[in-house]
Amino acid sequence: MQVIQLLVTGLAVGSIYALVALGFVLVYTAVNVVNFAQGDFSMVAAFFMVSLVVSAHLPYALGFVVSVILAGVAGYLFQLGVYQPVKNRPRNFLPVMIATVGGSIFLQHLFLILYGPVPLQLPSVFSQQTVDLGGVHVYPQYLLIIVVTAVMVALLNWFFERTKLGKQMQATAQDPTTARLMGINTARMNALTFALSTALGGLAGILVAPVYMVTTTMGSLIGLKAFAASIVGGFSSVKGAIIGGLAIGIIETFGGTYISGAYRDAFAFIVLVLFLIFRPYGLFGEKVSQKV
Amino acid sequence: MARQILKFIPVIALLAIVPFLLPGGRLGTYYLTLTILSVSYAIACLGLTVVLGYSGQVSLAQAAFYGLGSYTLAILTVKHHWPFWPSALLGVIVPTLFGLVLGAISLRLTTHYLALVTIGFQVIISLVLNNWATVTGGADGISNIPRPTIGPLSFVDDRSYYWLMLVFLCLAVYVVYRLRHSRLGNALLALREDEIAASSAGINLFWAKVLAFSVSAALGGLAGVLYAAGALYISPNIYIFDQSVLFFSMTLVGGQESIIGTLLGAGLLTFLPEWLRFLKDYYIAVYGLLVIVVVLFLPDGLWGLVQRGVRAILRLVKKETPVQPAAVVETLMQRAEPIHRPTPGEQVLLEVKDLHKHFGGVKAVNGVSFTVRKGDVAVLIGPNGSGKTTVLNVLSGIYEPTAGEVWFDGRNISGLKPHVINRLGIARTFQNIRLFPELTALENVIVGYYPKGTVGLAGTLLSTPRGYLEERIARERAEETLRLLGFTRIHEKAKNLPYGQQRIVEIARAMVCEPQLLLLDEPAAGMNTEETKELSHLVYRLHELGFTILLIEHDMSFVSQVATQAYVMDFGSKIAEGSVDEVLRNPAVIKAYLGDDAEYDYA
Amino acid sequence: MLKVHHIESRYGEVVGLHDISLEVNEGEIVALLGVNGAGKSTTLKTISGLLHPTKGTIEYLGERIDRLPPETIVRKGIVHVPEGRRIFPGLTVKENLIMGTSNRKVSKAEVEQGIERVLTIFPDLKRLMNQLGWSLSGGQQQMLAIGRGLMANPKILMLDEPSLGLAPVIVKQVFQTIREINEQGVTVLLVEQNASMSLRIAHRAYLLETGRVVRTDTAANLLADDAVRTTLLTAHGRG
């Protein structure tokens, strides 16, 4: 029975990583850069949620939606201020990476100023008691995380596969020049991609907030592990991000229980290094020859 | 050149008198502690100058190396009662070994993959320091770390310890400076600028990366050792990811490519929090903003800004006249009587046997065979997309062939790495010019001479006469080659040169080692009529000088002036061969170029 | 309809076009011919807004378009089918076609109509509708690229090297189709290395050399001229 309990926990933790990893993958496939502040948007949304629900007494569901949207807006502003100015530099990987690392430092400390260093508590809509499902004791919040993530993945899938806007975003990611020639406003598509990815990160932050505390640094470790998950998944594959995220969540939960609790945070990176050595292009990545 | 190192003397002298400039009392002691801290940060950041500034590899694990250095010293001296100096030495060696491993892993990884591996390493080291309590003392850390003595000299009090640190800072500056101005340093810069071009110029990417990471880790370890003995007490919360980010920021804010810039950045960001204290909680946010602002607006850091300012002032004062570019190949043309053009011998230098290269379903090269004899100027022609460049990329080792073989000088070279092929005597240029843009023209060509050098890291750091000699020879050979081609703006950064001149520099880089076979990929592309004419003289001249050349070209007038042998490709296969005039009369070739039209085939 | 007036265009340092002037009238097929590097593709890129001219003007239906971004220009009906086909590899054939309608607001019915029209021209695409772009052969990709261009309802269709890398049989088909499309009322500006084929379907042609127009005439006259053939085989007028 403990195995199933751990599996539920692992899937829940993994869902969080998967959502953030999806954000990494969306931005990477669209504009070929990595947003190192991706994880911090989980923190941003969680703080918004605390303000809206705990301080302003908004209904939980409304606060939830508004916070996710605000995280998207924050992502839009972030790309405007941090990504746009450096995107045209030659070999832009390094400048973009550094700018987003700077952005991450800035966001964390901005929220430190706004909310102070004391961790805040976001209550769950459910009780903190475990429920008994045929002998398996699980926290309802974990089930919520899994269900919401599943719904979100289905929604995203619908958006990218069934809507013209979703297809236009894909087209922009695959070949921006040709997309422009088709009349697609690629700058708008890229901004939208950033907003979508930070909104996903925000969703993850709100979902996980009742389990952990809300602190200014809660996003960094989630972000790093999600980044590892997206690389394990193949980095340019949506399916890979989800499976990579879930796998890391499960490995971490089981490893933390059966191998060593103290090194729980190391498992994601150990898995990552093993992958990079033995399967450098991840689960679903394709090896692409470098163009000369 | 050793005299240039003198420019660091004022900086060091200024640093040496810092203790006398500080106020007395507790404030003075406090500032001295901060100064000691900043010197150790500066040494750690110099490591990043090498790995990030020179070789262009991302490392977000400098705090881990710093920690490995500190903990090795602390554990050996405090727990095992080793004497100071052997412990300190191990404190440098242990992180260096880890650096070697990280460098080795980094060969296959670039950009974000590499960044994440270094972060992972950093996180794991932090966890180990925190949790392996029996060895590291866990969260409590280790206290009572001793400071060293040498014979009668004691470095126990803060001031003398500070001076001891300055000695090590000088050593670190020397190491980084020597490295930068050596053959190895050029290789690192080449790696940063363009991996494909670097490896085609004979640089072993694997060793270059391992070198960068291990030097960086050694400096990080040294900084950690000095920090531990300076602070007397260490605990794991110093060696966390955030500290790595801080080192990274320091290096960038100062200017990652400059030693003085790095020192400036380390000092500034150590003291900035003190100066921003009036902002209370806000200072760290301001500091994050500072990083963004520097990255957005000052890509070469604060020191770059200072340098640009100084240069602008100098220009105002001096009003130097811009150097007029000389006619490109004048010297070469004037140099000697026309030598008799060598007739190609019978000796086959290059033999391509039934070569195939497929990308997924696309058969870019589909069974091509041809030979190049010693003394040939062979040309591959064919319509766009017929697979010519792919052939060249296979010959130079950038692609592995799907099937077929390439024999060069009696040896099967198919599937060898680009730098190995270069060392066997095949050098190349690229269709879209791949110079190292931030390097000067001369430095670009010196990189081309890299394979001829033999002096390694030890020789470079010990400044052996042989090292200097080799560097001088490389420089002279590079200057001579550029002069031979009539190129004068040798100290101009490659990115500032006009297109035609960039091409000349690229050819110089390829020929400086006197390769047995020169591969030129569309040398006339993007050139105007005049430049093309000069280029054809140049290729003609190279041939006279004895070079064997295989080139790809679209410009038929160019081709017919220089080529001794032509091969025509279409759809990944060879459709004709012979002299240029012969193949241009070949109906199959006319069809490939002009299209399928019977009315036109009147000839 | 389209007037290009003495334009110069650069890629960074390199001057791609020195001085190009040309006109395209409604209903014509106009060919731009020249060897590699003569500036044919650069001309198309400048017209479609991917590059902005450093000198000169471009007028379309009496309106200057040389400062507009490509998204705006394609909305006006100038559709550029780029060199190398540039199919979106991860989208299906149908989705690629739908992307062609991104230059305007369309109803589902209009999209279906557009697809029907493309399928009458390229019936081969019908059975490929749900295949991903990368899995198509070169010829199929070219048909898709032209079809995708047609989905944009072009007034002027600019085709860059539609015969590139295609087997001769397929090339013939492609050229036949271009003529058909033109007969349906679409003006065509064609860039080609395959000179004789192009001249057989074009009404007029411009001969480009190192970024300049060196000759312009009716296709029939050019086709009969040996000098043209020589220029195309050997650059810089070497005889």
| DSSP letter for each residue of B384-421 | TTSSHHHHHHHHTTSS--SEEEEEETTEE-TT--HHHH
**A90 touches C: beta carbon within 8 Å:** no
**Cα separation, B526 vs C33, whole angstroms:** 18
Looking at residues B265-282, what average pLDDT do you find? Answer: 77
Where does the pLDDT of residue C236 fall: very low under 50, low under 70, confident under 90, or very high at 90 and above?
very low
| Cβ atoms C32, C40 nearer than 8 A | yes
Q: Which residues, at least 6 apart from B139, have a Cβ–Cβ distance to it below 8 Å?
A: B130, B133, B235, B236, B237
**Cα separation, B502 vs B12, whole angstroms:** 39
The tokens for B19 are 């203790």
Chain C contacts in chain B segment 353-382 (CB below 8 A): 360-362
Report the number of distinct structural domains present in chain B: 3
**B496 touches C: beta carbon within 8 Å:** no
- Cβ neighbours around B13 below 10 Å, total: 10
Q: Which of B241, B256, B271 marks a domain boundary?
A: B241
Residue A83 or residue B4, greater confidence: A83
Same domain, B54 and B140: yes
Q: Is B559 a member of any domain? A: yes
**B593 touches C: beta carbon within 8 Å:** yes
Give which of A219, A47, A202 is closest to A120, Cα–Cα. Answer: A47
Q: Is B431 a member of any domain? A: no
Give which of B114, B86, B68 is closest to B218, Cα–Cα. Answer: B68
**A103 touches B: beta carbon within 8 Å:** yes
Q: Which of B514, B536, B568 marks a domain boundary?
A: B514
User: What pLDDT score does B38 carry?
Assistant: 93
The residues of chain A scoring below 70 in pLDDT are 280, 285-292
Closest partner CB to B557 (pick from C172, C200, C236): C236
* Residue C104 identity: R
Same domain, B196 and B47: yes
Share of chain C above pLDDT 90, in %: 58
| Cβ atoms B556, C233 nearer than 8 A | yes
**Cα separation, B353 vs B494, whole angstroms:** 37
Same domain, B504 and B601: no
- Which DSSP symbol is given to B439? S
Find, in chain A, the residue whose alpha carbon is nearest to that of C48. Answer: A181
User: What pLDDT score does B319 carry?
Assistant: 59
SS (H, E, C) A218-269: HHHHHHHHHHHHHHHHCCCCHHHHHHHHHHHHHHHHHHHHHHCCCCHHHHHH
The tokens for B480 are 């001579």
Lowest-pLDDT range of B104-113, B357-366, C30-39, C87-96 = B104-113
Residue B309 or residue A133, greater confidence: B309
User: What pLDDT score does B324 carry?
Assistant: 46
Q: Which domains does chain C have, with CATH numbers?
A: 2-83+153-237 (3.40.50.300)
User: What pLDDT score does B151 carry?
Assistant: 85
Q: Which residue shows structure tokens 């004062």?
A: B317
- Which DSSP symbol is given to A21? H
- Secondary element (H or E) of residue C119: helix C108-121
Q: For A100-159, give the DSSP string.
A: HHHHHHHHHHHHHHHH-SS-B----SS-SS-EEETTEEE-HHHHHHHHHHHHHHHHHHHH
- CA dihedral (A17, A20, A21, A22) in degrees, to 10, reads 130
**Cα separation, B510 vs B449, whole angstroms:** 9
Average pLDDT taken over every residue of chain B: 86
**A2 touches C: beta carbon within 8 Å:** no
**Cα separation, B47 vs B262, whole angstroms:** 10
Looking at residues C214-230, what average pLDDT do you find? Answer: 84
User: What pLDDT score does A153 carry?
Assistant: 93
Q: Is B278 a member of any domain? A: no
B579-584: long-range contacts, CB 8 A cutoff, minimum separation 24: B580/B379, B580/B556, B583/B381, B584/B556, B584/B560, B584/C233, B584/C234
Q: Is B306 a member of any domain? A: no
Same domain, B21 and B168: yes
Distance from CA of C103 to the nearest CA of A (A): 4
Highest mean pLDDT among A91-105, B435-449, C158-172: B435-449
Q: Is B287 a member of any domain? A: no
Give which of C196, C201, C224 is closest to C33, Cα–Cα. Answer: C196
* Residue B416 backbone phi and psi in degrees, to 5: -75, 160
Taking an 8 Å cut-off on Cβ atoms, the answer to whether B595 and C234 are in contact is no
Same domain, B36 and B156: yes
**Cα separation, A136 vs A141, whole angstroms:** 15
Q: How far from B189 is each of B104, B200, B257, B444, CA to CA, in Å?
A: 18, 14, 10, 10
Lowest-pLDDT range of A191-200, B330-339, B353-362, B537-546 = B330-339
CB contacts of B498 in chain C (<8 Å) are: 13
Q: Is the pLDDT of residue C119 over 90?
A: yes
Among B502, B555, B568, most C C-beta atoms within 10 A, so best to mutate, is: B555
Same domain, B378 and B458: no
Distance from CA of C147 to the nearest CA of A (A): 12
The tokens for B330 are 């004048």
**C95 touches A: beta carbon within 8 Å:** yes
* Residue B569 backbone phi and psi in degrees, to 5: -115, 145
Q: Is B311 a member of any domain? A: no
**Cα separation, A26 vs A169, whole angstroms:** 10
**A171 touches C: beta carbon within 8 Å:** yes
**Cα separation, A247 vs A13, whole angstroms:** 10
Half-sphere exposure of B160 (CA within 13 A, CB side): 10
| Cβ atoms A194, A93 nearer than 8 A | no
**Cα separation, A58 vs A51, whole angstroms:** 9
Q: Is the pLDDT of residue C227 over 50?
A: yes
Find, in chain B, the residue whose alpha carbon is nearest to that of A112. Answer: B281
The tokens for B475 are 């420089």
Share of chain B above pLDDT 70, in %: 90
Same domain, B143 and B118: yes
Sequence spans of domains, chain A: 23-217
Where does the pLDDT of residue B598 fall: very low under 50, low under 70, confident under 90, or very high at 90 and above?
very low
Q: Is B110 a member of any domain? A: yes
Tell me chain C's radius of gyration from C-alpha atoms: 17
* Residue B312 identity: A
Same domain, B452 and B421: no
* Residue B566 backbone phi and psi in degrees, to 5: -125, 140
Taking an 8 Å cut-off on Cβ atoms, the answer to whether C148 and A182 are in contact is yes
Same domain, B399 and B467: no
| Cβ atoms C118, C97 nearer than 8 A | yes
Q: Is the pLDDT of residue B333 over 50?
A: no
**Cα separation, B43 vs B222, whole angstroms:** 8
Q: Is the pLDDT of residue B527 over 80?
A: no
| Cβ atoms C91, A167 nearer than 8 A | yes
User: What pLDDT score does B335 carry?
Assistant: 47
Taking an 8 Å cut-off on Cβ atoms, the answer to whether C134 and B360 are in contact is yes
Q: Is B284 a member of any domain? A: no
Q: Is the pLDDT of residue B300 over 90?
A: no
Q: Is the pLDDT of residue B368 over 70?
A: yes
β-pair type (A136-138, A131-133): antiparallel
**CATH classification at residue B409:** 3.40.50.300
Taking an 8 Å cut-off on Cβ atoms, the answer to whether C193 and B590 are in contact is no
- Cβ neighbours around B26 below 10 Å, total: 8
Q: Which residue shows structure tokens 């190049």?
A: B372
| Cβ atoms A183, C75 nearer than 8 A | yes
Q: In angstroms, how far is the first alpha carbon of chain B from the final one?
A: 65
Same domain, B85 and B10: yes
User: What pLDDT score does B601 carry?
Assistant: 35
Residue C79 or residue B362, greater confidence: C79
Taking an 8 Å cut-off on Cβ atoms, the answer to whether C168 and B593 are in contact is no
B172 alpha carbon, distance to own chain's centre: 20
Where does the pLDDT of residue B341 fall: very low under 50, low under 70, confident under 90, or very high at 90 and above?
low
Q: Is the pLDDT of residue B229 over 90?
A: yes
Same domain, B134 and B56: yes
User: What pLDDT score does B281 carry?
Assistant: 62
Distance from CA of A110 to the nearest CA of B (A): 6
Distance from CA of C105 to the nearest CA of A (A): 11
**Cα separation, A49 vs C200, whole angstroms:** 69
* Residue A215 backbone phi and psi in degrees, to 5: -130, 165
User: What pLDDT score does C226 carry?
Assistant: 78
User: What pLDDT score does C111 carry?
Assistant: 94
Closest partner CB to B554 (pick from C35, C164, C198): C35
Q: Which residue shows structure tokens 């730098």?
A: B419
Among C45, C46, C47, C71, most A C-beta atoms within 10 A, so best to mutate, is: C71
User: What pLDDT score does A128 carry?
Assistant: 74
Q: Which of B454, B484, B514 marks a domain boundary?
A: B514
CB contacts of B269 in chain A (<8 Å) are: none
C56 alpha carbon, distance to own chain's centre: 21
- Cβ neighbours around C167 below 10 Å, total: 13
Residue environment code for B276-300, b if the CB has 16+ CB neighbours within 10 A, otherwise e: eeeeeeebbbebbbbbbebbbebbb
User: What pLDDT score does C233 carry?
Assistant: 61
Where does the pLDDT of residue B29 fall: very low under 50, low under 70, confident under 90, or very high at 90 and above?
confident
Half-sphere exposure of C171 (CA within 13 A, CB side): 22
| Cβ atoms A237, A284 nearer than 8 A | yes
Q: Is the pLDDT of residue B8 over 60?
A: yes
User: What pLDDT score does B284 carry?
Assistant: 65
Task: Look up the domain containing B34 and give its range.
Answer: 2-241
Same domain, B387 and B521: yes
Among A84, A278, A292, most B C-beta atoms within 10 A, so best to mutate, is: A292
The tokens for B250 are 């320091």
